[in-house]
Amino acid sequence: MWVKEKFYRLSLKKKFYLIFKILFIYFICTGISFSDFQKKLVDKLEATNTLSFDFRQKIAEKEEIGKCYIKYPLLMKCDYEDLKKKSVISNGRTVAIIKKKYKKIYYYPIKTTPLFTILKKKQILDLVKNNKPKKINSKLIEYELIGKKTNTIKIFFDKNSLEFKGWETNDAYSNKVVFLISSLKTNIIISSDFFKIPREEDL
């Protein structure tokens, strides 16, 4: 009886040791895998200066599409395919929502909008360098940043190519805004004058 108990305790110790060894190897490999992925994503971001892409934006139940250009830091121009001939331009200080059909421009300080974070490459780099992804699925890698006034900004990257895929945030009326990117091109030459905000009388 005593021999059987001793044998059982030894078997149990071996099982625990084996499980511990497997878990240890798993965590080591996962750590190396994450570090490798993190470095590749950081390298890709650091090498990116301009972006050109098609987009699909959803605010509450309303969907809009169009084409966008970004030049880091803080420059963006998006033209919407809608009847109002809407454009959104950031010149680095001001975000202008332009409705050419009505010859109207609405101005907002960029620091009061989520674009102040989204268009600052350094901010995104710091997020990736100092945090693990909030979520990973078969297509996307998601990072999360808690901004001012607790406005959460989610940043998406393609799981395989590590390309920038868009973001999710809330607008001034607490509506969820999902902005998804497709047909991405990087490092095309774009003059900074391209992001100049027009005057209403010139619309």
Regarding whether 139 and 53 lie in a shared domain, the answer is: yes
CATH, residue 60: 2.50.20.10
Mean pLDDT in residue range 25-46: 67
**Would you say 145 and 124 are in contact if contact means Cβ atoms under 8 Å apart?**
no
Give residue 71's identity as a one-letter amino acid code: K
Residue 28: which domain range? 1-47
C-alpha–C-alpha distance, residues 83 and 72, integer Å: 29
At 23, is the pLDDT very low, low, confident or very high (cuts 50, 70, 90)? very low
Regarding whether 103 and 43 lie in a shared domain, the answer is: no
Whole-number Cα distances in Å, 20 to 7, 157, 165: 20, 34, 38
Regarding whether 92 and 180 lie in a shared domain, the answer is: yes
Q: What rounded mean pLDDT belongs to the chain?
A: 83
Tokens (6 digits) for 105 = 């421009």
At 198, is the pLDDT very low, low, confident or very high (cuts 50, 70, 90)? very high
Regarding whether 12 and 61 lie in a shared domain, the answer is: no
- Per DSSP, 156 falls in state E
Regarding whether 58 and 103 lie in a shared domain, the answer is: yes
**DSSP 3-state percent helix, strand, coil across the chain (nearest 5):** 35, 40, 25
Tell me, rounded to whole angstroms, the distance of Cα 131 from its chain centroid: 13
Regarding whether 160 and 141 lie in a shared domain, the answer is: yes
- Per DSSP, 163 falls in state -
Provide Rg for the chain, Cα atoms.
24
Least confident of 4-8, 96-100, 130-134: 4-8
Number of structural domains the chain divides into: 2
For tokens 């511990």, the residue is: 20
Output the pLDDT for position 127.
92
C-alpha–C-alpha distance, residues 89 and 177, integer Å: 17
Regarding whether 55 and 23 lie in a shared domain, the answer is: no
Q: For the chain, what's the residue count? A: 203
Q: Is the pLDDT score of 175 beyond 90? A: no
At 28, is the pLDDT very low, low, confident or very high (cuts 50, 70, 90)? very low
**Would you say 165 and 180 are in contact if contact means Cβ atoms under 8 Å apart?**
yes
Closest residue by Cα to residue 181 from 98, 50, 66? 66
* pTM tops 0.85, yes or no: no
pLDDT tens readout for residues 107-125: 999 998 999 999 999 999 9
Instruction: Identify which has the larger pLDDT, 3 or 135.
Output: 135
For tokens 């497709």, the residue is: 182
